[in-house]
Amino acid sequence: MSNTTELAELSANKCFGGWQKRYSHKSKVLDCEMQFSIFFPPTTSPDIKLPALYWLSGLTCTDENFATKAGAQRIAAELGIMLIMPDTSPRGDNVPDAADGAYDLGLGAGFYVNATQEPWKDHYQMYDYIVDELPSLISKEFRVKDKAAIAGHSMGGHGALTIALSNIKRFCSVSAFAPIVNPTDCQWGQKAFTHYLGDDKNLWADYDSCALMRQQGQFLHIPMLVDQGLDDNFFHAQKLTKPLEEVAKEIGYKAEFRYHPGYDHSYFFISSLIEEHLRFHAKYL
């Protein structure tokens, strides 16, 4: 493994007075070259530490989906929020992928866990990458505040919720669009967790937001906003959103769950409500 963590700038586009940029770097945790995108809002001083929001994308996505489809930069520029968009899995010729090319396992489907099983465990350490390695790199290279917000969609909503609930002192707020909230009890999660984590369901619970809310919610609450489209074809099939709302009601966890007729699972849904999510996070950043 290389010890190099230097950034290479891949692209830069002026956007709403700020800059949308893309970088690559060698990840020691994932043992491969990784890309991520950042929106830098316009600032009056290079010495200002910016508030930051991490966006975690869903199955089949890369770091570029949110940057090009969500329309988040206009409001982020107004609010002065840096947007950090990691990739969804390790990448590269030596990184294992699903043998059958399935979209819900392997490349583009890291599920933000630390894999313990072969052939995944040498590269698929996405939890540590998002929680530790990437924030350390961002803090080293750019001026950002210590505490960030985190948000995501679908598989990325799962990642945002589990990471926030397990790291309440590191994140000030969390939001999600159509999140996988109970992966131990839906097809997407069971398939991924069996391959990445094996058959020990105690390990699975560490990455299940329903289980984590039951555990962490007894002690600390983090501000939480979840939006779900009612015409999302995965809403019932993958048990999105609703199981977490039921846990929140059961234990008295103060979170806001909203349901929207007519909206599906796509970025049309995300772009319709992303302004509300950014303004939600701005209250806590």
Q: Write the burial class of residue 11 (CB in 10 Å: 0-12 exposed, 13-18 middle, 19+ buried).
A: exposed
Annotated catalytic residue, options 154, 173, 175, 209? 154
Cα(189)–Cα(182) distance, integer angstroms: 8
Cα(216)–Cα(278) distance, integer angstroms: 25
Assess whether 232 carries a catalytic annotation: yes
Angle, helix 209-216 to helix 242-251, in steps of 10 degrees: 10
Annotated catalytic residue, options 123, 158, 265, 277? 265
Annotated catalytic residue, options 208, 227, 232, 281? 232
Assess whether 37 carries a catalytic annotation: no
Assess whether 265 carries a catalytic annotation: yes
Which residues are known to be catalytic?
A: 154, 232, 265
